[in-house]
Amino acid sequence: MAYAGSPDMERLVLDQPLEVPVLDGNLVRLEPLSSCHAQDLRMAAEEHRGEYRYTYVPRAHQVDEYISAQLGRAGEGKMAPFAQIRKSDSRAVGCTAFWDPRRWPGRSDLCAIEIGWTWLSASAQRTGINLESKLMLMRHAFEVLGVVRVDLKTDARNQRSRTAIEALGAQFEGVLRNWSPSHAPGEEGLLRDSAMFSVTDADWPDVEATLRRRLADRGCRSPVR
């Protein structure tokens, strides 16, 4: 297995930001994150927060700083952050991102990327928004960016998140100890164990079919290609 930072892949720092267009679905529209989303995100972040124990979600007073930090990472070529816009009311209800792009050794083209930094307001959870968002992001990663691997990871203790990632069709690859900064209360400055998952280009057709079927079971049309 080759994870970010391994000698088999090279971290990619682009001369220019990783450009990703608006990704438009039936339930959610993923727009490049900007300060115009701040007010909606302040409200979204202060809905019921009981399920954010292992996930970093800014408080309302931290949203401007959060957006600035994400845009800083984007400017360094490390990330393409999105606001998740619920189409039923055109409100930003969370965020997600492409993160940690890696390239083939000695080449400029991408071989792998992570989908992460994902959070949704309580009212947007279990609505199909996350399913459609992941479908659009993976489709863009495999079919436009041309990667052969998409990573997803979560705090190893976050069983709800692990179950949700597995339900996408991602393959569990193990737990890397002391791998990522912890977001659990009282663990500031500490590292967490991370449960690692992936979808490869060989997996993608089956994963895409699974996500489309799950959306159809909810009565949702799949997003237009």
Question: What DSSP designation does 142 have?
Answer: I
- Burial state string for 66-86 with b = 16 or more CB within 10 A and e = fewer than 16: bbeebbebbeebbbbbbbbbb
Question: Among candidates 58, 77, 63, which has minimal Cα distance to 35?
Answer: 63
**% of the chain exceeding 90 in pLDDT:** 76
Confidence of residue 212 (pLDDT cuts 50, 70, 90): very high
pLDDT at 157 over 90: yes
pLDDT of residue 11: 52
Confidence of residue 224 (pLDDT cuts 50, 70, 90): low
Confidence of residue 33 (pLDDT cuts 50, 70, 90): very high
pLDDT at 146 over 90: yes
Whole-model pTM: value is 0.90
Mean pLDDT of 203-209: 97
pLDDT at 185 over 90: no
Q: Which residues pair with 98 in a beta bridge?
A: 80, 115
- State residue 69 phi and psi, 5-degree precision: -65, -40
pLDDT of residue 220: 76
Q: What is the rounded average pLDDT for all residues in the chain? A: 90
**% of the chain exceeding 70 in pLDDT:** 91
pLDDT at 225 over 70: no
Residue ranges of alpha helices (H) inside 99-217 are 129-140, 159-167, 204-217
pLDDT at 155 over 50: yes
Mean pLDDT of 34-38: 97
Selected residue with higher pLDDT from 121 and 2: 121
List, for residues 11-29, the tens digit of each pLDDT value: 545 555 788 899 999 999 9
List, for residues 47-77, the tens digit of each pLDDT value: 988 888 888 999 999 999 999 999 999 999 9
pLDDT of residue 1: 40
pLDDT of residue 6: 45
Q: Is 92 left (phi over 0), alpha (psi -120 to 50) or beta?
A: beta
pLDDT at 5 over 80: no
Mean pLDDT of 140-158: 96
